[in-house]
Structure 1
Amino acid sequence: MAEYWSVVRLRKTRICVAIFLFWIYWRYAFHAVVFFSIAGEKHYVTQSEAGAWAEVTVPVPLLLTISYLAFVWAGLHFMERRVPRMVFEAMCVFNVAQVALNSQLAYFLVAEAVHMGFSPWGNTLDRGRSHRLSMLLYLQYHYRQLDLLDTVFIILRKKFLRITWLHILLKLLHMWAWFFAVRFSCGGDAYFPAAVNSACQAVVYSYYTLSMLDLQIPKQLQKGRIWEVQSCQYLVCALHALYVLVRGEMPRRVWLLNLLLMVTSGVWHVDFEEGRRFRRVQRTDTQTRSKTNDHVAPLKSVNNNNKQQQQQQPQQQLTFSFDSSAWLYCYHWGAAVWLEEHLHKDVGTGAYPSNLQFSGASGGALVAFSLASGGDPRAIFEHVLAESYPMFSRNPWRMGKAVKIALERFIPESKVCQIVSSLRVLLTRVSLRPPFITGEVVDEFHSREDCIDVLLATCHVPGVHIKPHSCRQGYYYDGLMWNSLFVPWQSEDDSHVVYISAFSLNQMADIQPPSLPLWWALFPPPVRILRGLFWIGYRDMDRWFAEEPQDECCGCFASRPRLSKQDLPARGIYADSFHQSRALKHRLARDLLVSQPQPLSEALLRKDSVTGDVVADLIQYCERSAARNMRVSYALILAGVCLIIAVFLYCLSN
């Protein structure tokens, strides 16, 4: 954004429009939100046992949650092949408005608490004189609703790396937490976390505003300080909630929820920042080693200078990453079979090139292991359908036993040393020390038993297994539950990682299937459908290698207004780098092919070696079953939305 500001002048028309829209919101929309959020037609405010302004209704945040999730899903799909939108002026007004609104709210909350003689804790819910304080607490709840608009700007700017499950969950959880606080505890001690949260939001949005305008940021508002402010916010609010929960006179259910939210937010926040620092240290160490090698190079013989320069030139690494997907990992097995058939391997050892790696979590780790070890993914897949499926398809508690049987059968002792430098497995480590739940990546395996133990740990699903899996003097759960999955774990960007996902909702994936019912991951469909899903993965991998990555503007340029000459350099700076990164890793992947793949039409006419069915028929059967199940799910969702709207209208009429 700072680069855009330095190239293009601020557009006064857009600024005026954004300011006018904010004025309309403050003058009219805000009062409408208040009216439709309060249960009552004649009066905005009613007295209840929870205090004034406590008659907020459930349908409003529920509709906002559904609309928010639907917008994120639709927005990511809509913007995937489009250029980023220039929303600098709107973002500037939004950030300044957030600073002003949150600063004003923090000041009024503290002033009202001083006026009422409140201490930081130990205050009772005084229903007789807490009308103004309750109104301020309702504003805090409404500002958390307004904070959801931040995701809109992220999607329009195509900053997809920031659209993480952590981002979405935190915004929704904070909105719902303040809904329950206003609904059941609108007054008393609730003022303190509201004031702390508003002050912290004002500081954070001040940093955003100064960064956008490319202004000199004071030391107090540096990025590291912002992280410390947010960490202190979670810590202070958690301690306050714990005190009120133990010694206070407020509804304990609300403050227990607040305590859990603050602890969870703090853990995710700390783990997210530590993960970023760890990746920065890794990248710095890699660059340092590269510079050191370049410095030592002149000491070599002059006659072999050209050959040594070629050897010293670092190879660009490429990683095929398989996500966690439970039973949908049959899609991964099909992709793995295609890679096993077409990628170059050493004739003697069967190992892949040194610049090729594989990674995965949970079931995806099993697929990655089969490739890294030079195994036969088709044989493992057939074992899954023939033996594992009857064993735990309807009895998930036997999953650990089935996985162990498969690993002991397909992990020979001679293959362990081969996967040391080519496999990365994701785990969720749990401990009694903060941050309690952390992500851990394993890329070294000491023995066959150690390799089996690590793969069992990444498939140890919580809920199905109550006790964590003991491994390497630690305790672990499924890699799916790793909280660092809420951020892109593989690297800082996706330039050298080919993401293979079995879920169509993953917008960061390079290879993914059409829409599949999510419940197939937990409750597997019949074997014929799983076999069709296997061949869909095979087909999609073949398509990805055969087709060149398309530009983001492809197919959408006709409906886009023509850019003026003065906008072209700004759009070039502002545009996303997805196309360049995807083209780079596509070229790296094609360089690893031992031969060009056969045409897709011929591949689909082949017959399955086990059942004798035509591959195209299996794919068609799976896709039709998925489409039928998706239509049923859409009908149920539509019925649920209609029911919510009916309840909402009923609440308004009464």
Structure 2
Amino acid sequence: MKAAAGKVQQEAERLTAGLWLPMMLAAGYLLVLSANRASFYENINNEKGAYSTSWFSLPCVMTAVYLGGVFGLTKYFEGRKPMQGLKDYMFTYNLYQVIINVWCIAAFVVEVRRAGMSAVGNKVDLGPNSFRLGFVTWVHYNNKYVELLDTLWMVLRKKTQQVSFLHVYHHVLLIWAWFCVVKFCNGGDAYFGGMLNSIIHVMMYSYYTMALLGWSCPWKRYLTQAQLVQFCICLAHATWAAATGVYPFHICLVEIWVMVSMLYLFTKFYNSAYKGAAKGAAASSNGAAAPSGAKPKSIKAN
């Protein structure tokens, strides 16, 4: 017990010594977010909404950079050793994700109440009254670009088996889905899916932060189940919103596509993982070794 505690303390001290640079980068990024808020405020009286001025070129460029980077870096590291010294950056990144998602949850609740909205069933309002709530949704959308670092850590450490079609597909898909929301309909029930996703991300990145410190996480085994529940709730909400006309039909179709494809791919992964675990347990009971990686793992939520 003492040895384990000493190891955790040593790891925490080692991380602390190298955190200043990634922390400064995170702080600089937050300043960029704040500066963008001021630029959007200049368009607060735009009849299409202040956030309709979001750049179409950004998701185009970032999608190309992301896909090209995944392919290029994977090839580059094929004959090289995994990159070392990433823990400080990964720890800062995971901690940042916990903090920004906690902030999103609190800000969504505060701004929904301030705007006099109900939990669901809110018509899209692109006027000044929705500006502050719209900014929280924009921050959530913008964070989808930051989440591309999930893949970078995997590639740099040569964890290429984790860079699956599901992993890459959902990162790209979510960039474009949230861009559509922010660009065209950033108001009303647009916040709902973002708040649920932020709750899942607090759970998920808390686990990753704790894992880097060597701490056990009591909700680790429930992460994938929580992700699937999130998809079901969001799918039900999008279907209801489309049927009742609460939210624009074409954006509801985008969310329905996202949730159906995520449910299918995540469920396929989940069933495959547990079948592998079951086969491993059976082989072990017969005196054979369980296959590597048979234990089910959670994967990044959208």
> TM above 0.5, one fold?
yes
Q: 1:384-435 deviations in whole A, cap 9, x for unaligned?
A: xxxxxxxxxxxxxxxxxxxxxxxxxxxxxxxxxxxxxxxxxxxxxxxxxxxx
Q: CA deviation at 1:13?
A: 4.0
Once the two structures are superposed, the pairs formed by residues 181-192 of structure 1 within 5 Å of their partners are: 181-192=181-192
Is residue 2:263 matched to residue 1:266? Answer: yes
Alignment of 1:390-409 (within 5 A): none
Partner of 2:94: 95
Match of 2:252 in 1: 255
Q: Aligned residue for 1:104?
A: 103
Q: CA deviation at 1:266?
A: 1.3
CA distance in 1, matches of 2:153, 2:110: 33
Higher gyration radius (CA): 1
Cα contact 1:65–1:172 (8 A) shared by 2 = yes
SS of 2:53's equivalent in the other structure is coil
Whole-angstrom CA distance in 2 between matches of 1:231 and 1:112: 27
Provide the rounded CA distance (Å) in 2 between the counterparts of 1:33 and 1:132. Answer: 13
Structure 2 counterpart of 1:74, from 63, 72, 79: 72
Q: Go from structure 1 to structure 2 and tell me whether the alpha carbon gap of 1:122 and 1:12 turns closer, same or farther (over 3 Å shift).
A: closer
Q: Alpha-carbon deviation of 1:248?
A: 2.8
Task: Give 1:216's aligned residue.
Answer: 216
- 2:120 and 2:204 map into 1 onto residues whose CA distance is 25
For 1:229 and 1:279, the matched residues in 2 are separated by 21
Letter of the 1:238 counterpart: L
The answer to whether the aligner puts 1:287 opposite 2:288 as a matched pair is: no
User: What TM-score results when the alignment is normalised by the length of structure 2?
Assistant: 0.87
- 5+ long unaligned stretches in structure 2: 294-302
CA change 1:45–1:179 in 2 (3 A) is: same
**1:236 aligned partner:** 233
- Tell me which amino acid in the other structure corresponds to 2:64: I
Go from structure 1 to structure 2 and tell me whether the alpha carbon gap of 1:120 and 1:215 turns closer, same or farther (over 3 Å shift): same
1:51 to 49, 52, 68: 49
Listed one character per residue, the Cα deviations across residues 19-78 of structure 1 (whole Å, up to 9, x for unaligned) are 111112222x33566689x7xxxx653444543322212111000000001111111011
Structure 2 partner of 1:30? 33
Alpha-carbon distance in structure 2 between the residues aligned to 1:66 and 1:44: 30
Match of 1:127 in 2: 126
Say if 1:63 and 1:44 are closer, same or farther in 2 by CA, change over 3 A: farther
Q: Which residue identity does 1:138 align to in structure 2?
A: W
CA contact (8 A) 1:109 1:191 kept: yes
- SS of corresponding position for 1:290: coil
Distance 1:69 1:34 in 2: 29
Q: What is the identity, as a one-letter code, of the residue corresponding to 1:283?
A: G
Query: Counterpart in 1 of 2:296?
Result: none
1:196 aligned partner: 196
**Is the helix fraction higher in 1 or 2?**
2
TM-score by length of 1: 0.41
Count of aligned pairs between the two proteins: 283
Alpha-carbon distance between aligned partners in 2 of 1:50 and 1:275, rounded to the nearest angstrom: 45
Cα deviation, residue 205, structure 1: 0.6
Q: Secondary structure at the match of 1:188?
A: coil
CA contact (8 A) 2:181 2:190 kept: yes
- 1:556-599 Cα deviation digits (max 9, x unpaired): xxxxxxxxxxxxxxxxxxxxxxxxxxxxxxxxxxxxxxxxxxxx
CA distance in 2, matches of 1:112, 1:56: 21
Structure 2 residue aligned with 1:84, among 56, 72, 82?
A: 82
CA contact (8 A) 2:43 2:49 kept: no
Q: CA deviation at 1:91?
A: 0.4
Q: Determine which structure has the larger strand proportion and give its number.
A: 1
Q: How does 1:483-632 map to 2 (within 5 A)?
A: 492=292
Please, what is the CA RMSD of the aligned residues?
Answer: 2.3
User: Residues 111-162 of structure 1: CA distance to partner in whole angstroms, max 9, x if unpaired?
Assistant: 1112222223221122331111111111111011111111111111111110
Is the Cα–Cα contact under 8 Å of residues 18 and 93 in structure 1 kept in the other structure?
A: yes
3-state SS, counterpart of residue 186 of structure 1: coil
Q: Distance in 2 between matches of 1:54 and 1:136?
A: 15
SS at match of 1:258: helix
CA distance in 1, matches of 2:38, 2:66: 21
Ranges in structure 1 where 5+ consecutive residues have no aligned partner: 292-313, 315-490, 494-654
Whole-Å separation in 1 of the counterparts to 2:47 and 2:174: 23
Task: Find the counterpart in structure 2 of residue 156 from structure 1.
Answer: 156
Q: In the alignment, which residue of structure 2 is the partner of 1:447?
A: none
In the alignment, structure 1 residue 245 sits paired with structure 2 residue 242: yes
Other-structure match for 2:179 = 179
**CA contact under 8 A between 1:200 and 1:229: conserved in structure 2?**
yes
For 1:11 and 1:234, the matched residues in 2 are separated by 35
The equivalent of 1:594 in structure 2 is: none
Structure 1 partner of 2:116: 117
